[in-house]
Amino acid sequence: MKKLALALLLAFPLASLAAPVEPGHFLPRLTLKNQHDQEWQIPADTRTVLFAAGRKASNLMLSVLGTQPKGFLAARQAVYLADMSKMPGFITRTFALPSLREQPFDVGVSLDEQQLADWPRQNDAVTLIRLEGGRVTHFEYLKTDAQLRSALGL
């Protein structure tokens, strides 16, 4: 029996056994790189995760955050996480990452399709995930500039 349990543990990495991103569960720990290819994690004191998993959601994030001063997200205990795994590698390297490098904020970037596959998402929407002590309290989908600005207190 112990051998079977060990074999299952080795066959399925711990990341795939993480709790889902839903109210009442702790947010899974991620280790990613940012747009500058530096190590990036969600800080323990984070209260808001803004998750963009598509082009329209990313464009919405840039339209709102691109006009904010440096330190805007950190002052709100917020982070921006982008799933770029479905984007062709050439586009990511040539256009998307260079564009993000010009921004005054860090973006956690996932290029691994499996890493954020279970995260809540809707087409053309930013997923706003609220946290208390690392635990998800709720999430919602923001589709407009006004909704995102309101959620960020603008």
Q: What is the residue whose two structure tokens read 């998307």?
A: 96
Domain residue limits at 132: 21-151
Question: Does residue 9 lie in a domain region?
Answer: no
Find the mean pLDDT for residues 64-69: 92
Find the mean pLDDT for residues 28-35: 92
What is the C-alpha separation between 23 and 135, in angstroms, rounded?
Answer: 7
Question: Does residue 114 lie in a domain region?
Answer: yes
Question: Does residue 105 lie in a domain region?
Answer: yes
- Number of separate domains in the chain: 1
pLDDT, one tens digit per residue, over 104-146 is: 899 999 999 889 999 999 989 999 999 999 999 999 999 999 9
Question: Does residue 10 lie in a domain region?
Answer: no
**What CATH code is carried by the domain that includes residue 88?**
3.40.30.10
- pTM for the full predicted model: 0.83
Count of beta carbons in the 10 Å neighbourhood of residue 82: 27
Question: Does residue 138 lie in a domain region?
Answer: yes
Sheet holding 78-83, edge to edge: 39-40, 32-34, 107-110, 78-83, 48-52, 126-132, 135-142
85: nearest Cα among 63, 47, 53, 107 = 53
Question: Does residue 47 lie in a domain region?
Answer: yes
Question: Does residue 2 lie in a domain region?
Answer: no
What pLDDT sits at residue 18?
52
Binned at pLDDT 50, 70 and 90, residue 50 comes out as very high
Question: Does residue 42 lie in a domain region?
Answer: yes
**Structural tokens at position 47:** 């209260």
